[in-house]
């Protein structure tokens, strides 16, 4: 039910009837705009409460003609779980939201299910993506479900589980001897020649629409009183931009108060922290690519996100913050969270690792309601959970005592 698409830099407006990438005039990222008053008159919080708990319940807020356009693999609301105070660095109100429960086990399912649905409606048949891994796996899954040809360009050291997913779900795979930025350059070079629609992070307006529904889902789960702070692991930045767009739309609808938009805190890895650097220097965009980007959190290894000005705007306008954590802290946090039953990926663990930093830097109040966004499952990075097989006794079938 969108009205138009608008350039986030120069404001130029585009019609919604053809597949769109970035602004032809200035290269700015494009965003869907809606007549929210009109939608708000048709859909109420009470109506939404009666619908199934999946983000598709907000379909009127998506650029789709109707339910028949949905390409779904069954996306549930993901749970919000409270962390005990002694496990949360003495903060009383820390919650996690576990998106590892979505199809393909990361939050990337949100953006890709909506993007594939929109693109299918527009007649797109062949899609391409440069990806650190999880976005490609999600596109492979939804592309397969939607009957599209999927082409993926990933760094050659992409986590093996994602590579397996892409391969078995029928994606065409190119491995790149470089980082996601190198993969992106190759996609730009070849996409027109091969007739592929580019679904790159921040280079099309569709994926943001899936991520914005994180804000809708969170707001409803918190009974329309969103948390004070959301801590989000950030690479390309689509998640944070989506959250900001979603909460802004909720304010425009009058469904939440303006001062209840959560402060958006970006977490990166010290091995690749271009947004943190720009934030600390008071810059409005990432001027140069992070050199020798290196981190175990593959999804955070984005040396120069496209349209970084939007990520920094989301942080600044929500009175948010940006901080970085080391790979050692990420690994320790993966272990700590696993000990409490949460088996999460390194990107997700970075949010937990950031808590002591944010405490030291006086960013959080003791009674703040804080949400750590767990963007994916540890099952996708099994290699990082080391075990020593030899340390486990192997019992004979008829063992009558334990060693």
Ligand X SMILES: Cc1ncc(COP(=O)(O)O)c(C=O)c1O
Using CB under 6 A as the criterion, which residues of the chain lie in contact with ligand X when the complex forms? 106, 108, 132, 134-135, 201, 233-239, 299, 345, 347, 375-376
In whole angstroms, how close is the CB of 307 to ligand X at the nearest point?
A: 12
Sheet containing strand 229-233, strands side by side: 80-83, 94-98, 370-374, 229-233, 263-269, 321-325
234 touches, from ligand X, Zn ion, none (C-beta below 5 to 8 Å by class):
ligand X
For Zn ion, which is the closer residue by CB, 22 or 154? 22
In whole angstroms, how close is the CB of 36 to Zn ion at the nearest point?
A: 22
Paired tokens of 241: 């931009």
Q: Is 23 in the site for Zn ion (CB under 5 A)?
A: yes
Of 185, 104, 180, the residue nearest 140 (C-alpha): 104
Would you give the DSSP letter of residue 289? P
7 touches, from ligand X, Zn ion, none (C-beta below 5 to 8 Å by class):
Zn ion
In whole angstroms, how close is the CB of 393 to ligand X at the nearest point?
A: 35
Q: Which stretch binds Zn ion (CB under 5 A): 6-14, 41-49, 125-133, 183-191?
A: 6-14
Report how far residue 370's alpha carbon sits from residue 222's, in angstroms, rounded to the nearest whole number. 12
In whole angstroms, how close is the CB of 9 to Zn ion at the nearest point?
A: 5
Concatenated DSSP letters for 67-126? Answer: GGG---S--PPPPEEEEPGGGTTT-S-EEEEEGGGSGGGBTHHHHHHHHHHHHHHTT--E
When CB distances to ligand X are compared, the closest residue is 299
For ligand X, which is the closer residue by CB, 108 or 203? 108
What 256-260 contacts at long range (C-beta under 8 Å, 24+ apart), as own/partner pairs, is 256/219, 256/224, 256/225, 256/226, 260/225, 260/226
In whole angstroms, how close is the CB of 189 to Zn ion at the nearest point?
A: 23
Report how far residue 247's alpha carbon sits from residue 234's, in angstroms, rounded to the nearest whole number. 18
In whole angstroms, how close is the CB of 174 to ligand X at the nearest point?
A: 18
Report how far residue 233's alpha carbon sits from residue 42's, in angstroms, rounded to the nearest whole number. 35
Q: Is 205 in the site for Zn ion (CB under 5 A)?
A: no
Report how far residue 264's alpha carbon sits from residue 279's, in angstroms, rounded to the nearest whole number. 13
For ligand X, which is the closer residue by CB, 261 or 266? 266
In whole angstroms, how close is the CB of 300 to ligand X at the nearest point?
A: 6
Report how far residue 2's alpha carbon sits from residue 150's, in angstroms, rounded to the nearest whole number. 26
Paired tokens of 327: 């790979």
Among the listed residues 26, 47, 160, 379, the single contact to Zn ion using CB under 5 A? 26
Cα separation of the two ends of the chain = 66
269 touches, from Zn ion, ligand X, none (C-beta below 5 to 8 Å by class):
none
Phi, psi angles (nearest 5°) of residue 42: -95, -30
Cβ–Cβ < 8 Å for 200, 187: yes
Q: Is 7 in the site for Zn ion (CB under 5 A)?
A: yes
Q: Is 10 in the site for Zn ion (CB under 5 A)?
A: yes
For ligand X, which is the closer residue by CB, 134 or 161? 134
117 touches, from ligand X, Zn ion, none (C-beta below 5 to 8 Å by class):
none
In whole angstroms, how close is the CB of 279 to ligand X at the nearest point?
A: 14
Q: Is 30 in the site for Zn ion (CB under 5 A)?
A: no
Q: Which stretch binds Zn ion (CB under 5 A): 11-19, 40-48, 131-139, 395-403?
A: 11-19
- Residues within the interface to Zn ion (CB under 5 A): 7, 9-10, 12, 23, 25-26, 28
């Amino acid at each position: 039910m969108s009205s138009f698409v608008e350039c986030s830099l120069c404001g130029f407006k585009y019609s919604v009837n053809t597949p769109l990438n970035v602004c032809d005039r200035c290269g700015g990222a494009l965003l869907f705009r809606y007549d929210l008053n009109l939608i708000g008159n048709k859909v109420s919080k009470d109506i939404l409460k009666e619908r199934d708990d999946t983000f598709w319940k907000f379909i009127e807020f998506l650029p789709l003609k109707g339910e028949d356009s949905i390409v779904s693999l069954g996306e549930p609301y993901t749970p919000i779980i409270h962390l005990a105070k002694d496990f949360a660095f003495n903060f009383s109100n820390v919650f996690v939201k576990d998106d590892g429960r979505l199809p393909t086990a990361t939050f990337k399912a949100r953006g890709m299910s909506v993007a594939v649905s929109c693109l299918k409606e527009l007649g797109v048949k062949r899609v391409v993506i440069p990806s650190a891994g999880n976005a490609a796996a999600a596109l492979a899954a939804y592309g397969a479900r939607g009957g599209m040809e999927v082409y993926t360009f990933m760094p050659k050291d992409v986590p093996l589980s994602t590579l397996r997913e892409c391969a078995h779900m029928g994606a065409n795979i190119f491995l790149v001897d470089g980082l996601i930025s190198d993969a992106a350059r190759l996609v730009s070079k070849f996409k027109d020649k091969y007739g592929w629609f580019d679904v790159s992070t921040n280079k099309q307006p569709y994926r943001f629409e899936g991520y914005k529904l994180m804000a809708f889902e969170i707001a409803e789960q918190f009974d329309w009183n969103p948390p004070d702070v959301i801590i989000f692991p950030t690479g390309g930045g689509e998640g944070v931009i989506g959250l900001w767009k979603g909460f802004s739309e909720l304010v425009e609808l009058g469904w939440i108060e303006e001062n209840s938009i959560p402060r958006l805190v970006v977490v990166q890895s010290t091995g690749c922290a271009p947004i943190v650097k720009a934030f600390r220097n008071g810059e409005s965009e990432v001027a140069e690519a992070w050199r020798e980007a290196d981190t175990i959190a593959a999804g955070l290894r984005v040396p120069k996100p496209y349209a970084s000005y939007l990520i920094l705007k989301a942080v600044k306008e929500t009175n948010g913050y940006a901080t970085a954590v080391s790979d050692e802290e990420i690994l320790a946090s993966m272990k700590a969270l696993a000990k409490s039953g949460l088996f999460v990926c390194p990107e997700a663990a970075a949010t937990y690792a950031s808590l002591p930093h944010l405490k030291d830097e006086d960013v959080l109040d003791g009674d703040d309601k804080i949400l750590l966004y767990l963007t994916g499952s540890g099952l996708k990075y099994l290699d990082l959970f080391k075990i020593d097989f030899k340390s486990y006794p192997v019992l004979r079938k008829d063992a009558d005592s334990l060693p």
